[in-house]
Amino acid sequence: MAGALNTPRRVALLGATGSIGTSTLDVIARHPDRFQVQALSAHSDVEKLVELCRQFRPACAVIADAARHAQLRDGLRAAGLATAALAGAQALVDIASDPESDTVVAAIVGAAGMASTLAAARKGKRLLLANKESVVLAGQVLVQAARESGAQILPIDSEHNAIFQCLPADGGRGGVRRLLLTASGGPFRGRSRQSLEKVTPDQACAHPKWVMGRKISVDSATLMNKGLEVIEAHHLFGLPAAAIEVLVHPQSIVHSLVDYVDGSVLAQLGNPDMRTALAHGLAWPERIDSGVAPLDLPALARLDFEAPDLGAFPCLALAYAALATGGTAPAILNAANEVAVASFLEGRLPFLGIPALLEATLAAIPAEPAGDLDVLMDCDQRARRQARELLNEMERA
């Protein structure tokens, strides 16, 4: 196993320019003896990608937007870098599969990360999994692929990382009564549904505890993020929905808990900073410095917990319902949510239109048995088309 005195771990980081990508590189930069960046990817920000290449000297860089291939190639050349310039969706899969790297950080947002995340799982990589939408879309396929190839999935979502740390290390579930996923409650915690009618994208993205990309920030504001996380936990930890509960905890210090039948409850605590989970995943089973400040409990003085308000935030209930329905329902939910959130961020859909669009899409497309990945991907596309049509109808009404 790679450690400080052995060969460094070689890391492919997909979604390098995002919030998780930035935090990952911050941890990596603290341990140049342990980690070497093999590949970096970004969606469209060539300038930032070239800057990261200058800093981390990867063997290859991928710009997902293929129209910017020449711009990336010229930028790398102008910077005097030997980094190979690649572009397009297939190149993302290629760097996730490349035998030159042993670790893949899946930090692309949305189902756009599906193919590369799955490729890493199929190739037996250490997979640091932040891209939760892939798990919601095709969790069973992903977990099965990892099992067959021997890929080690290390959850990066802070709640799932906490649960991973609190579950028995042998992978057994004996004695586990429930998982308790904590939720900060987002920027609108305590508000009535009616009072949310006119909230803006900037208000929704002003998360009280975490600085994150805009899509997950809106998901946190609707509580859909927690709904996606319930589905994610079901797949990653193999427990039924009935054993996965959500607990609102506004301080975001307790990242999640595991309740055992003997009455023991194990929790993982820490300051709200994704570098803890990333350092855990990068070094596991060792522990390394992440740059996160030690927890000062006397300064915090108190930790609060409350039940989620499903009336004001119906997205969480929609996610539980999709999980109960099973088959393609979670894939439909995820696709409709991606369309709804993008439309809200563009100012085309009001905040309360998000759950409305999800419900309408789920009602319009009957769930089917999930079958294989093709069925799920096809369903993802169909749900996106349906959601866009419904959105147009809502706009005309």
Site residues for Mg ion per CB under 5 A? 157-159
Q: Which does 316 bind (CB under 5 to 8 A by kind): ligand NAD, Mg ion, none?
A: none
Shortest Å distance, C-beta 50 to ligand NAD = 13
CA 94, CA 234: separation in Å to the nearest integer? 29
Given the complex with ligand NAD, which of 46 and 283 has the nearer CB atom?
46
How far apart are CB 221 and Mg ion at their closest, in Å? Answer: 13
Q: How far is CA 329 from CA 58, 123, 295, 314, in A?
A: 39, 28, 40, 16
Cβ 336 vs Cβ 389: under 8 Å? no
Quote the least distance from Cβ 39 to Mg ion, whole Å: 25
**Residue 42, contacted partner among ligand NAD, Mg ion, none, CB below 5-8 A by kind:** ligand NAD
Q: Which of the choices ligand NAD, Mg ion, none does residue 283 contact, using the CB cut-off of 5 to 8 A by kind?
A: none
CB-count burial class (<10 Å; 0-12, 13-18, 19+) for 294: exposed
Residue placing its CB nearer to ligand NAD in the complex, 210 or 284: 210
* Identity of the residue, 133 or 157, whose beta carbon is nearer to Mg ion in the bound complex: 157
Cβ atoms of 60 and 39 within 8 Å: the answer is yes
The distance of closest approach from Cβ of residue 249 to Mg ion in the complex, given in angstroms and rounded to an integer, is 12
- For 344, the token pair is 């809200």
Of the pair 217, 386, the CB lying nearest Mg ion is at 217
Q: Residue with the closest Cβ to Mg ion?
A: 157
Least Cβ distance, residue 263 to ligand NAD (angstroms): 30
Q: Where are the alpha helices (DSSP H) in the chain?
A: 19-29, 46-56, 69-78, 89-97, 114-122, 132-149, 158-166, 201-205, 214-222, 224-237, 275-283, 297-300, 314-325, 329-345, 353-364, 373-396
CA dihedral 95, 91, 281, 8 (to 10 degrees): 20
CB of 222 to ligand NAD, least distance (A): 13
**Residue nearest ligand NAD, CB atom distance:** 18
* Residues 154, 237 contacting (CB under 8 angstroms): no
Q: Kindly list the residues in this chain that would bind ligand NAD in the complex (CB under 6 A).
A: 15-21, 42-43, 64, 107-109, 112, 130-133, 157, 210, 212-213, 215-216, 274
Question: Tokens 């439309």 belong to which residue?
Answer: 343
Q: Pick what 28 binds: ligand NAD, Mg ion, none; C-beta below 5 to 8 Å, kind-dependent.
A: none
